[in-house]
A and B are shown apart, each in its own frame.
Chain A
């Protein structure tokens, strides 16, 4: 019996591989059909959108999805675009309402900085950013930089994460009003409108709601479970406005949502008991940035205020577990200034920023705390002929103010980068060490927090090359990184309560490859990742040298998109290898590898555009997090009217 099962699994895996190969082949063949002379040259949109001081840039490995590609993809939020990039793992709890966080090169989601127009989105509470809250509709580009972007006039905070995601807001190139409505599977409705005024700004309002009651199935040797997700609904409203005037940019953002928290699918005898927890979020920020570059001198300043509110409730009569009703309120005031000066082959950049954040909550025994976080950076760039290099140092000081003792933390970290251009080829390498300070939750959260935590360090080494010509942009990087003193939550010995501890040391060896091909109305983007991510904590433990949970060895993505005379189409595919979900790999079967294919077609006639998309075309049942099933095949129909 057991052997038969194994055989079946193998056979189905084989089928999956063929499926993915077939899809890849289709994409490659499609992209090669018409070898006519090139009309447009593919260029990174980032290169175009930024004005920078002369001789101050050297390249870190990065990857950009431009607006064109964003429009072509079936996507709801920023996570849907980022998942196609090399080295990226999206943690997704499923459905529109499930939290989506990004992990790059296995360094952990708290080491990925997300920046909206150069300003970091912070979550002082738990350090992660839910990408589900950020829409693609207002963006010019989504870029991922390993280590950090590397140019002058960067703020000190931009150096402070192991990987950085840049969301670049689109400056309108026309005056228009766009109305959009869409309807999709599992009771999903959306409506949005964007009013743009050429060169000066836009207002974007979007509403979305989804029942999220998608069906799921588990069929293994040990279970036959079918059901529908319950308490998985979400409703969101987002209002966003952006204004541009000369070097000044003002951005206002407000997000309001209510969602159910469905819980993992576990063995139950019936539907009698269900997860009833609900969450309300209100996120608001306003940011002003200013930048001016004159000949060899540049100046940049940023001011931001963010206000985040989270309300969690589970004190409903039918709840059989903890009856909680807690509100969390975070505020964040941030100011940054940076300057750069160019001297011949050299360029120097200095920046300092200051952040005040606080956290108020009615959680029992919680004492009010505010954090002062100051960062200063100094960078030197050198560029001569084909060679360029840069070194940056970052000094961070974090001081918490609360009842009782709280030791300030100060550290110096640095990164260094060099690149050499040889015709169409660029060789490059970097080293970066950076840490994350324990979050306020890690330190002070009632009955979890541990004030004795040390910062969690990451160290990265990368070596790679880029090849770029008129049609193709190809890059490959080999990297080695390690995370030291991981901050993890472990159960208290002798209790059902938990505590935060510095525990663990991991290292990851990997290769990322990405290629962009653009030819006439066709575009192809392919990415592949191999990584070997291992636990190196304690030799005496049986999990020593095991693969890190949820870290696949192989993953691949491919997108083909087409756009011509009002007709647009895209097919995108993703393959993720099996993943262990237990720290000690041998004790459980890993989650199966999965393939997910999405397609989208659109047609534009005069002012009207109709789009239809199908996600998870082959209705593959898969999980990203164990016992959190992802939705199967689903459809969306969208109508857009533009004035």
Chain B
């Protein structure tokens, strides 16, 4: 009886949802536009990781379907019937079948398949921040001082075997390590020292730790001379783009470009709070805040790491203008598949944010899509 009711209900839902879908499909472009997109393949399927509000347990994933140009919010909940957790702050693809989400305040690394279904979690890396992978192992930075029964004075990077989802090795790095990238068997970890606003034992960090990815043994420390290496790190070949936030008082923000081959550091005196790459150049949006004036300054740049040339645009004038018009830029992402650029606006940080997308040529790919609170991370999936 129950089953019958359920089937009836499902049928009812299918029928009614069809009713609803039909009219919305039509105005979204008609067949011609749809085909055009299909042929050029400039729009990606996207997973947007929304951080939610701290301690509100409302981290959410949104899924953008490039075929229908529709956004599904609360995707993880819908697919898995459970909550994602509190403050997810990174999402990366490990291999064809596995995506990892670092759910910071829930102390969980959540794994999902590209269709959104969950497939395990790692709990041993609390206060996790950023990740990178070589397809077999996942490397995660953590602000915490504990990993299983190991303890650390400062922060650490953990190596997780994606077959078992177990931590197989750890290495202590600097205080509050942030971005981690892999180049020729070495991990490069940017340290922030971000808790120093409240902790007494240390100051802001200005170093990058180099760790052997295979053995997870520390190799050396590179001093960038710039304080508080906070936020995302992008990688274009041997070059890394790292934001240094400064201390918001007397020490201003900077952007650090590291050449992993020569370990030479180039410093620009603007921030790159949000940065991304198309594999050649770095595209950055920096927000500069001063506690003295209480004011923000925004910086939009394209950096060529080879020539060290800097332009104050991103892609085209249309893209640059659109980014400038955002209330609170919160993420900038270039798809490795299409080269299209996506960025988000967190608005007032308490209301749902928006996602925008443009092709390389500066063509708007879709109307601004409403996502969820604090859309901080984007991942294009095939």
Question: A-side interface residues toward B, CB under 8 Å?
Answer: 1-4, 221-223, 263-270, 272-273, 315, 317-318, 320-326, 363-365, 446-447, 449-452, 490-497, 499, 501, 503, 541-543, 581-584, 587-588, 626-627
Give the interface segment out of B33-41, B82-90, B304-312, B357-365. Answer: B82-90
Pick from A222, A264, A495: contact of B289, CB under 8 Å:
A495
- Contacts known (A267-B108, A320-B107, A447-B248); A493 close to B289, Cβ less than 8 A: yes
Given contacts A494-B231, A495-B273, A542-B351, contact A269 B287 (CB under 8 A): no
9 contacts between A and B (CB under 8 A): A264-B55, A321-B127, A321-B143, A447-B248, A492-B248, A493-B296, A497-B194, A497-B248, A543-B351
Of A1, A223, A364, A452, which contacts B293 at CB under 8 A? Answer: A452
Chain A nearest Cβ from B50, distance in angstroms: 10
Residues of A close to B83: CB separation below 8 A: 222-223, 267
Q: Which residues of A contact B352 (CB under 8 A)?
A: 542, 584, 587
A588 to B294, CA, bound (A): 32
Q: How far is the CA of A490 from the CA of B108 in the complex (A)?
A: 26
Tell me, rounded to whole Å, the shortest Cβ–Cβ distance linking B87 to chain A. Answer: 9
CB atoms of B58 and A323 under 8 A apart = no
**Distance (Å) between the CB of B46 and the closest chain A CB?**
19
Neighbour of B372 across the interface among A4, A265, A273, A587, CB < 8 A:
A587
Residue-wise, chain B 256-300 has the 8 Å CB interface mask toward A (1 for contact) of 000000000000000101100000000000111101111010000
Contact partners of B162 in chain A: CB under 8 A: none
- Contacts A222-B77, A541-B347, A627-B55; is A323 near B199 (CB within 8 Å)? yes
Chain A CB within 8 A of B195 CB: yes
* CB of A438, distance to nearest CB on chain B (Å): 12
CB atoms of A494 and B349 under 8 A apart? no
Q: Which of A322, A449, A452, A627 contacts B199 (CB 8 A)?
A: A322
User: Would you call B9 an interface residue if the criterion is a C-beta within 8 Å of the partner chain's C-beta atoms?
Assistant: yes
Q: Which of B18-26, B144-152, B206-214 contacts A (4 or more CB under 8 A)?
A: B144-152
Given contacts A447-B197, A490-B349, A493-B296, contact A266 B86 (CB under 8 A): yes
A582 to B82, CA, bound (A): 20
**Known contacts A222-B77, A266-B106, A447-B291, then 4 further A-B pairs from the complex at CB < 8 Å, ordered by chain A residue:** A266-B105, A492-B248, A587-B373, A627-B56
State the CA gap A315–B249 with chains docked (Å): 26
Cα of A434 to Cα of B347 in the assembled complex, Å: 30
The answer to whether B85 touches A583 (Cβ under 8 A) is no
A318 to B151, CA, bound (A): 9
CA distance A495 to B248 in the complex (A): 10
- Of chain B, the residue at the smallest CB distance from A323 is B199
B198 in contact (CB, < 8 A): yes
> Taking A223-B82, A266-B85, A447-B197 as contacts, is the C-beta distance between A583 and B350 under 8 angstroms?
yes
- When chains A and B are docked, how far (Å) is the Cα of A223 from the Cα of B86? 14
Residue of A2, A449, A583 contacting most chain B CB atoms (<10 Å): A583
Residues of A within 8 A of B63 (CB): none
- A residues within 8 A CB of B292? 451
Beyond A268-B108, A324-B199, is A493–B245 a contact (Cβ under 8 Å)? no
Please tell me if the beta carbons of A491 and B373 are within 8 angstroms of each other in the complex. Answer: no
Residues of B in contact (CB 8 Å), total 67
Q: How far is the CB of B72 from chain A (nearest CB, A)?
A: 14
**A494 vs B370: C-alpha distance when bound (angstroms):** 20
Query: B271: nearest residue on chain A (CB-CB)?
Result: A494
Q: Does B251 contact A (CB under 8 A)?
A: no
Task: Say yes or no: is B57 at the interface (Cβ < 8 Å to chain A).
Answer: yes
Which of B57, B121, B199, B287 is within 8 Å of A493, CB to CB? B287
Decide if A273 touches B198 in the complex (CB within 8 Å).
no
Interface centre among B103, B197, B198, B288 (most CB of A within 10 A): B198
- Among B288, B291, B370: residue with most chain A CB under 10 A: B291
Asked whether A320 and B126 contact (CB < 8 A) given A266-B57, A365-B249, A499-B291, the answer is yes
Against A, the Cβ 8 Å flags (1 = close, 0 = not) of B110-148 are 000000000001010011000000000000000111100
In the complex formed, the residue of B with least CB distance to A585 is: B351
Select which of A263, A269, A581 is within 8 A of B123 by beta carbon.
A269
Closest partner residue, chain A, to B231 (CB atom) = A494
Q: A267-B106, A496-B194 are in contact. Are A582 and B350 (CB under 8 A)?
A: yes
Dominant SS among interface residues on chain A: loop
**Roughly how many angstroms separate A496 CA and B232 CA in the complex, as a whole number?**
12
Q: How far is the CB of B326 from chain A (nearest CB, A)?
A: 10
Interface readout for B56-90 with A: 1 if CB under 8 Å, 0 if not? 11100000000000000100010001111110000
Interface of B is mostly: loop
B196 interface residue (CB < 8 Å to A):
yes
A263-B55 contact, Cβ under 8 Å, with A268-B107, A493-B296: yes
| Complex interface: chain A residues within 8 A of B77 (CB) | 222
**A327 to chain B: closest CB distance in Å?**
12
Given contacts A3-B13, A267-B108, A492-B289, contact A364 B197 (CB under 8 A): yes
Max count, chain A CB within 10 A of own CB: residue among B73, B86, B197? B197
A627 to B58, CA, bound (A): 10
**In the complex, which residues of chain A have a beta carbon less than 8 angstroms from the beta carbon of B245?**
494-495
Contacts of A318 in B (CB 8 A): 146
Please tell me if the beta carbons of A326 and B57 are within 8 angstroms of each other in the complex. no
Partner of B195, one of A267, A322, A326, A495: A322
CB contact between B57 and one of A323, A364, A490, A627 (< 8 Å): that residue: A627
Contacts of B347 in A (CB 8 A): 541-542
B356 at the interface (CB under 8 A from A): no
Are B198 and A269 closer than 8 Å at their CB atoms? Answer: no
> Given the known A-B contacts A490-B348, A543-B350, A583-B350, are A266 and B55 also in contact in the complex, defined by CB atoms under 8 Å?
yes
Which residue from B55, B107, B197 sits with its C-beta under 8 Å from A497?
B197
Cα distance, A264 to B82, chains bound together (Å):
18
Give chain B residues whose Cβ lies under 8 Å from the Cβ of A499.
Answer: 289, 291, 294
CB under 8 Å from chain A, chain B span 216-242: 230-231
In the complex, what distance in Å separates the CA atom of A584 from the CA atom of B349?
10
Q: Are A265 and B57 in contact (CB under 8 A)?
A: yes
Contact A494 to B291, CB < 8 A, known contacts A583-B351, A584-B351 = no
- In the assembly, what is the distance between CA of A606 and CA of B146, in Å? 61
Which residues on the A side are within 8 Å of B179 (C-beta)? none
Chain A contacts for B329, CB-based, 8 A: 493
A318 to B127, CA, bound (A): 12
Complex Cα–Cα for A542 and B103 (A) = 27
How far apart are the CA atoms of A501 and B350 in the complex, in Å?
14
Q: Given the complex of chains A and B, what is the CA–CA distance between A499 and B292 in angstroms?
A: 12
Q: How far is the CA of A270 from the CA of B126 in the complex (A)?
A: 12
How far, in angstroms, from A494 to B178 measured CA to CA in the complex? Answer: 14
A626 to B127, CA, bound (A): 22
Docked Cα-Cα span, A542 to B195, in Å, equals 34
Bound-state CA distance A449–B291 (Å) is 7
| Least distance between A225 CB and chain B CB atoms (Å) | 9
Residues on B with beta carbons closer than 8 Å to the beta carbon of A272: 107, 123, 126
> Does B369 sit at the interface, judged by CB under 8 A?
no
CB of B328 within 8 Å of the partner chain:
yes
Chain A: which residue is nearest B5 at the CB level? A4
Q: Quick check: A269 and B348 within 8 Å, CB to CB?
A: no
CB contacts (< 8 Å) of A447 on chain B: these are 197, 248, 291
| Distance (whole angstroms) from the CB of B233 to the closest CB of chain A | 14
How many Å lie between the Cα of A380 and that of B9 in the bound state?
70
Q: How far is the CB of B53 from chain A (nearest CB, A)?
A: 8
